[in-house]
Structure 1
């Protein structure tokens, strides 16, 4: 962590999808991060050092991502690294020799699959299991006892599927049907019809954005007014494109940040003001997450005096970190900074209602 070597800059590098399947998630995340760094640089940087934030578009491709991170370390001499989107990309970066040798921590990747990582990764957001847990308790409180599952079968979703089935049992809920996303169109149509007839209180989608879209498009023909729940890394713009905006009515999504449009806390106000000042683009849950991730990283850089890795210092600290009305309780065992989960309902005419 030789910040001195760079003279008056601290280099933060990130390889993330800006133009691939999760491009709009990546672009929002980066917009929030950039905005916070801009606000710090304008007021003199960190101890007089400016943050130089270098973002490389990995298009969601693991090989490109690993190479980009390698270059950021090798050529750009990155002092800190922020993560990309998805388990495949994260795995590729962790397996990269240059990253292994660097001794650095990959901070705040966006991963929606149930997976344990070693101490070289530090997550900002809570785990996918925590999000799923929140969806369950939310609907449990509403007295809903029958749950359908839309399941995109692949290695990444298998653990989450198992987790959901176990959770149903634990809560004495009834699994009222299963639609396998990615099965043939005829099978999906048939399974969707069967699920719709069983009239579940809610359907939980264990799928990526595209898979969720394909499911909604089919299922909504049969069940226009059944709640369908997804998780926070579902990309709503893409979802509306795939399924049609009408299909998004009666959908809910777990969220890992408070409402970005509300002005209840200092950090919400800050995010809103700084985005207006530096970006002039729409606020979203992901611009807000990026903003808070950057603020957390700045705290880590401040904590990392004297050659200590600030991220590791932050991850192991016992006290609560206040970002301005949103608090982090770092957990050494889960390697996660935040436990915040909320729920948002898709609004008629677009956007989320927290």
Structure 2
């Protein structure tokens, strides 16, 4: 059974509304990430609808829970296209669900472009997916640059073996070499994780970079902290921090840092950040997070696309191909040198024992 959430504008006639469909995990392994992402998106759409919508058309945001199951993502994407008549489709969490949607007959037979899935960028057929967030390679490069500036040159890597992660591992290894840093050890997420973690703790690594999903990262961190309580361990932005803390334990998360693909959600340094805080207070009864801000920024980007399309200047693919910089309130996306993602913004934050990030 799927959960369907819609904004109040759903009663409007089809000609008077813009339907944005979204199949995403709301109750499965990445449910907390999905719920935050949806909250940020909903908040921005709410802020547009209370002003009368886009050229008088209200946005109907229809969300269905795929429970983190790729086959369900594909099935629900078909439902959103064929039954809900979605004008735009937002993406799911993870490469497996994203690829399942792209392969679904209903999607393949449509003219839809899947927008802003929460996953690392990968080559997609005929531009049928547009990635909003920067690549994992970009996040890892930023992490290495950050610690390089601090003079921490000895790097350990935790690798969860998948073809995609192997590619990232090779790119990161090359980046370590280019920077004059040293790769002192590699631990693999496997049945031998306890032994590998112990060996990596003795390697002299000053920073350990995790190329792994949430469960793999959690298993490593739990094992590693038995031997090393203070070495920096770094991960990328899609590691579910609530799950990490639950599995590894709050004490194990001390001295862990994570790249983030949006600026500090608790700051008012830019118009985007201020709008996000103000609108979340107005429309939601929940705290802000990096993921709610990412959803808010994605929704703001999509609204700009819809406005461009209404003005006869093309849609998602046209905007992505044009590489024209767009300011969404102090955060610029789509600069001319980007190849596969709209944004390359990366920051870094320390994960505190109370479950919050400190930028």
TM-score by length of 2: 0.92
> Relative to structure 2, which stretch is displaced further, 93-102 or 325-334?
325-334
**Pairwise mapping of residues 144-293 of structure 1 onto structure 2 (< 5 A)?**
144-181=152-189, 183-184=190-191, 187-293=192-298
The Cα offsets for residues 273-323 of structure 1, whole Å up to 9 and x where unpaired, read as 111111110100000000010011000000112776521232133432111
Between Structure 1 and Structure 2, how many residues are aligned?
346
Distance 1:25 1:158 in 2: 25
Coordinate RMSD, CA, aligned: 1.6
Contact 2:320 2:334 in 1 (8 A): no
Distance 1:145 1:333 in 2: 28
Query: Does 2:63 match 1:55?
Result: yes
Query: Does 2:53 match 1:45?
Result: yes
CA displacement at 1:67 relative to structure 2 = 0.8
Secondary structure of 2:63 counterpart:
strand
Query: Does 2:330 match 1:325?
Result: yes
Hey, which bits of structure 1, 4+ residues long, moved more than 4 A?
306-309, 330-333
Corresponding position of 1:341: 346
The Cα offsets for residues 133-191 of structure 1, whole Å up to 9 and x where unpaired, read as 1011111111122111111122342211222222222223222112111x22xx32222
Gaps of 5+ in 1: none
**Aligned in 2, Cα 1:42/1:291: closer, same or farther, shift over 3 Å?**
same
Secondary structure of 1:221 counterpart:
coil
Distance 2:323 2:155 in 1: 38
Contact 1:201 1:227 in 2 (8 A): yes
The Cα offsets for residues 187-234 of structure 1, whole Å up to 9 and x where unpaired, read as 322222221112211000011111111111110010000000000001
> Relative to structure 2, which stretch is displaced further, 259-268 or 340-349?
340-349
The Cα offsets for residues 84-116 of structure 1, whole Å up to 9 and x where unpaired, read as 11111111111112112211111000113x622
> Relative to structure 2, which stretch is displaced further, 230-239 or 154-163?
154-163
Secondary structure of 1:222 counterpart:
coil
TM-score by length of 1: 0.94
Secondary structure of 2:225 counterpart:
helix
**Aligned in 2, Cα 1:79/1:330: closer, same or farther, shift over 3 Å?**
farther
> Relative to structure 2, which stretch is displaced further, 26-35 or 126-135?
126-135
| 2:78 corresponds to which of 70, 83, 86 | 70
Corresponding position of 1:115: 122
Distance 2:155 2:33 in 1: 28
Distance 2:21 2:334 in 1: 25
Distance 1:85 1:39 in 2: 25
CA displacement at 1:332 relative to structure 2 = 8.4
Secondary structure of 2:226 counterpart:
helix
The Cα offsets for residues 104-135 of structure 1, whole Å up to 9 and x where unpaired, read as 111000113x6222311111111111111101
Distance 1:337 1:294 in 2: 13
